[in-house]
């Protein structure tokens, strides 16, 4: 349950300051034909998780899609800006939802692909520490 709680908290955090973006969890709703009404968007997906004796972590992948019809192909700047804005915001918060700590390193990617015009994309991979699950060995 904790990874899903984290995903929901990250979604809510993004919605609180990315006012022009639609924020989705795990997948973008189905579209009909060339409908681009979901742009601009942020997609919050669960990545890998890990737990050892001292710490549990969960990756969250946030993918951004923006649209820019300018023929100078400068739409990538919008993608770069939103990636950096979200990165800085999350680092300034440090704790999301009162219990999920943003860990370093934070990784991001801005794919270079001129075939997606007028759509541009970027992504961030966050790792969060999450509460450890304590099991009662007597019931196992």
The domain that contains 41 carries what CATH number? 3.30.2000.30
140 has pLDDT over 60: no
Q: First CA to last CA across the chain, in angstroms? A: 19
- Tell me, what's the pLDDT at 9? 97
Range of the domain at 106: 2-29+36-133
- Tell me, what's the pLDDT at 73? 76
Share of the chain above pLDDT 90, in %: 68
Q: For the chain, how many structural domains are there in total?
A: 1
Taking residues 31-41, report their average pLDDT: 83
Q: Is 140 part of a structural domain of the chain? A: no
Q: Is 139 part of a structural domain of the chain? A: no
104 has pLDDT over 70: yes
Quick check: 108 and 61 in contact, CB under 8 A? no
Q: Is 64 part of a structural domain of the chain? A: yes
Question: Could you tell me the strand order of the sheet in which 41-51 lies?
Answer: 22-25, 41-51, 56-67, 119-130, 100-109, 95-96
């Amino acid at each position: 349950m904790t990874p899903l709680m984290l995903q929901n908290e990250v979604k809510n955090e993004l919605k609180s300051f990315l006012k022009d973006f639609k924020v989705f969890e795990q997948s973008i709703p189905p579209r009909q034909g060339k409908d681009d009404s979901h742009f601009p968007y942020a997609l919050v997906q669960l990545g890998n998780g890990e737990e050892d004796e001292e710490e549990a972590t969960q990756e969250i992948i946030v993918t951004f899609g923006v649209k820019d019809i300018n023929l100078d192909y400068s739409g990538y700047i919008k993608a770069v800006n939103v990636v950096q804005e979200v990165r800085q915001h999350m680092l300034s918060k440090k704790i999301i939802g009162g219990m999920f700590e943003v860990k370093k390193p934070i990784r991001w990617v801005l794919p270079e692909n001129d075939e997606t015009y007028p759509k541009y994309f970027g992504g961030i991979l966050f790792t969060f520490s999450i509460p450890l699950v304590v099991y009662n060995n007597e019931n196992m």
